[in-house]
């Protein structure tokens, strides 16, 4: 009934004579006595049911807005919903708030805006770091290419060479014929570090091995060290009993077990100084790519006696992208 809800400038929320919240209710006692306008559960004390005593003080008040919604007021309701879900950072506080309350809310609004900016920066930095780790750390050992540049050993990730897909180096190491030719040129130390996925790649590269046998071996999730210990008995325990298949697999495993009989690097008959500068520049570009940094890179610093040779080597290996090194 209307008598349940009452308004008075000297009181806060008042519901009949049952709940009376007074002005300055955090320092002034309000009263509670349920049972006139509202019913209480059986065997409950009307003066202690909600607050534990007749007089109480309010620590906090939460205010809710109740609105009606029907199909005829869809547009108005949608507008109201959009207003209610407006981000706190962009809300404009009207004259319904006191100046002191406005100052507090604006301070909180400003702090929230700054916190969200910091959070976005941290999120972007985290995504950049994930890209960096994915590019440089999660690559498999099979993707490392070793060069013997006039007697000096150098290594680089295959993905780094692929930054310039039309370069001579990228085309060479993306050639399927090269991949097939190099499928058996692994060093023993490298094989020992193979993950189960790398072992599966090696198994799938064995020429003449049936698909059924490959699937059978893949079920056991071997790493590189386990692969090197395989013998006839172990293969038979895997369910491989066909003699030609056993011979083929053991021949391939023995090839892996021979340390020092595999080509470890690709010979590059160029200046080690110039070729090293090229690889260093590619690595810097790879880092910027992983960090999504669009800042243009400065050209490599080349000593004057090597400048002409460096330019010729760049034009040979990167005929369409030589300006990237200038």
Burial of 231 (0-12, 13-18, 19+ CB in 10 A): exposed
For residue 138, the 8-state DSSP code is S
Q: Residue range 298-320: average pLDDT?
A: 92
Using the predicted structure, report yes or no on whether residue 184 has a pLDDT greater than 50.
no
The CA distances from residue 178 to 164, 166, 185, 222, in Å, are: 18, 16, 11, 26
The pLDDT tens digits for 148-172 are 888 888 888 888 888 888 888 888 8
Could you give phi then psi for residue 185, rounded to 5 degrees?
Answer: -115, 50
Q: Which carries the bigger pLDDT value, residue 22 or residue 81?
A: 22
Using the predicted structure, report yes or no on whether residue 79 has a pLDDT greater than 50.
no
Contacts of 43 by beta carbon, 8 Å cutoff, 6+ apart: none
Using the predicted structure, report yes or no on whether residue 232 has a pLDDT greater than 80.
yes
Using the predicted structure, report yes or no on whether residue 203 has a pLDDT greater than 80.
yes
User: Which of the four pLDDT bands, split at 50, 70 and 90, describes residue 301?
Assistant: very high
Least confident of 79-93, 120-134, 147-161: 79-93
What's the pLDDT at 176? 60
Using the predicted structure, report yes or no on whether residue 181 has a pLDDT greater than 60.
no
Structure tokens at 28: 């002034």
The CA distances from residue 227 to 206, 248, 263, 270, in Å, are: 14, 14, 20, 37
Using the predicted structure, report yes or no on whether residue 222 has a pLDDT greater than 70.
yes
Please calculate the CA angle 233-236-238 and round it to the nearest 5 degrees: 115
Integer Cα distance of 191 and 264 in angstroms? 12
Using the predicted structure, report yes or no on whether residue 261 has a pLDDT greater than 60.
no
Using the predicted structure, report yes or no on whether residue 273 has a pLDDT greater than 90.
yes
Using the predicted structure, report yes or no on whether residue 117 has a pLDDT greater than 60.
yes
Using the predicted structure, report yes or no on whether residue 2 has a pLDDT greater than 50.
no
């Amino acid at each position: 009934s209307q008598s349940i809800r009452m308004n008075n400038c000297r009181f806060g929320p008042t519901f009949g004579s049952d709940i009376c919240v007074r002005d300055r209710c955090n320092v002034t006692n309000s009263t509670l006595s349920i049972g006139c306008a509202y019913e209480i559960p059986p065997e409950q004390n009307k003066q202690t049911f909600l607050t534990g005593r007749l007089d109480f003080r309010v620590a906090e008040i939460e205010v809710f807005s109740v609105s009606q919604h029907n199909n005829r007021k869809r547009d108005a309701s949608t507008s109201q919903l959009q207003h209610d879900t407006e981000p706190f950072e962009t809300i404009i506080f009207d004259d319904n708030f006191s100046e002191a309350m406005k100052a507090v809310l604006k301070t909180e609004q400003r702090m929230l805006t700054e916190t969200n900016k910091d959070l976005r920066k941290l999120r972007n930095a985290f995504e950049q770091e994930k890209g960096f780790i994915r590019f440089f750390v999660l690559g498999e050992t099979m993707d490392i290419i070793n060069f013997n540049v006039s007697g000096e050993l150098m290594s680089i990730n295959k993905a780094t060479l692929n930054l310039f897909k039309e370069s001579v180096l990228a085309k060479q190491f993306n050639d399927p014929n090269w991949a097939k030719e190099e499928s058996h040129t692994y060093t023993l130390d490298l094989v020992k570090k193979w993950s189960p996925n790398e072992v599966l790649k090696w198994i799938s590269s064995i020429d003449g091995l049936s698909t059924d046998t490959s699937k059978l071996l893949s079920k056991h999730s071997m790493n590189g060290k386990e692969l090197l210990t395989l013998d006839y008995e172990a293969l038979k325990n895997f369910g491989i009993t066909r003699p030609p298949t056993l011979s083929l697999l053991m021949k391939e495993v023995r090839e892996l077990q021979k340390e020092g009989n595999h080509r470890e690097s690709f010979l590059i008959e160029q200046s080690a100084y110039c070729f090293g500068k090229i690889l260093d520049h590619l690595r810097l570009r790879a880092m910027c790519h992983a960090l999504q940094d669009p800042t243009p890179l400065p050209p490599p610093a080349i000593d004057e006696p090597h400048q002409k040779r460096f330019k010729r080597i760049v034009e040979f290996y990167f005929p369409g992208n030589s300006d990237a090194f200038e």
